Structure 1
Amino acid sequence: MMVVMALSTAFTKYFGVRHPIVLAPMGGSAGGALAAAVSRGGGLGMLGGGTGDREWLARELPIVAEGAGKAWGIGFQSWAIDVETVELALEHSPRAVMLSFGDPGPFAERVRRAGTALIIQVTDLEEARRAVDVGADVIVAQGAESGGHGARRGRSTLPFVPVVVDLVAPVPVLAAGGIADGRGVAAVLALGAAGALLGTRFQATTEALVAPSVAEAIIEGRGEDTERSRVLDIARGSRWPAQYTARTLGHPFLDRWRGREAELAADPRAKQDYQEGVARGEIPALPVWAGEAVDLINDLPSAADLVGTIAAQAEEALARAGRH
Structure 2
Amino acid sequence: MTLSTAFTKLFGVRHPIALAPMGGSAGGELAAAVSRGGGLGLLGSGNGDADWLAREVPIVAKGTTGPWGVGLWTWAIDVGAVERVLEHGPRAVMLSFGDPSPFAERIRRAGAALILQVTDLEEARQAVDLGADFIVAQGTESGGHGSRHGRSTLPFVPLVVDLAAPVPVLAAGGIADGRGVAAALALGAAGAVIGTRFQATAEAVVHPSIATAIVEGRGQDTERNRVLDIARGSQWPSRYTARTLGHRYLDQWRGREAELAADPQAQRAYQDDVARGEVPPLPVWAGEAVDLITDLPHAADLVAALGAQAEDALTRAGRH
TM-score by length of 2: 0.99
Shift, 1:48, TM fit = 0.3
The residue number in structure 2 matching 1:68 is 64
Contact 1:40 1:68 in 2 (8 A): yes
Distance in 2 between the 1:18 and 1:161 partners?
22
Task: Please state whether the residue corresponding to 1:242 is helix, strand or coil.
Answer: coil
1:184-208: CA deviation from partner (whole Å, max 9, x where unpaired): 0001100000000000000000000
Instruction: Verify: 1:273 aligned to 2:269, yes or no.
Output: yes
Distance in 2 between the 1:10 and 1:246 partners?
30
Distance in 1 between the 2:9 and 2:220 partners?
37
The residue number in structure 2 matching 1:15 is 11
- For 1:298, give the aligned amino acid: T
Structural mapping, 1:222-237, within 5 Å: 222-237=218-233
Distance in 2 between the 1:239 and 1:211 partners?
23
Structure 1 residue runs without a partner (length 5+)? none
Contact 1:65 1:94 in 2 (8 A): no
Distance in 1 between the 2:140 and 2:125 partners?
19
1:4-44: CA deviation from partner (whole Å, max 9, x where unpaired): x5310011111111100000000010000000000000000
The aligned length equals 320
Contact 2:143 2:196 in 1 (8 A): yes
Deviates more, 1:116-125 or 1:55-64: 55-64
Contact 1:29 1:48 in 2 (8 A): yes
Shift, 1:250, TM fit = 0.4
The residue number in structure 1 matching 2:94 is 98
Structure 2 residue runs without a partner (length 5+)? none
The residue number in structure 2 matching 1:157 is 153
Instruction: Verify: 1:221 aligned to 2:222, yes or no.
Output: no
Runs (4+) off by over 3 Å: none
The residue number in structure 1 matching 2:199 is 203
1:243-278: CA deviation from partner (whole Å, max 9, x where unpaired): 000000000000000010000000011001100000
Give the % identical residues: 78
1:40-67: CA deviation from partner (whole Å, max 9, x where unpaired): 0000000001122222111001111221
TM-score by length of 1: 0.98
The residue number in structure 1 matching 2:242 is 246
1:221-245: CA deviation from partner (whole Å, max 9, x where unpaired): 0000000000000001000000000
Contact 2:48 2:85 in 1 (8 A): no
Distance in 1 between the 2:290 and 2:265 partners?
33
Please, which of 32, 38, 41 is the counterpart of residue 42 of structure 1?
38
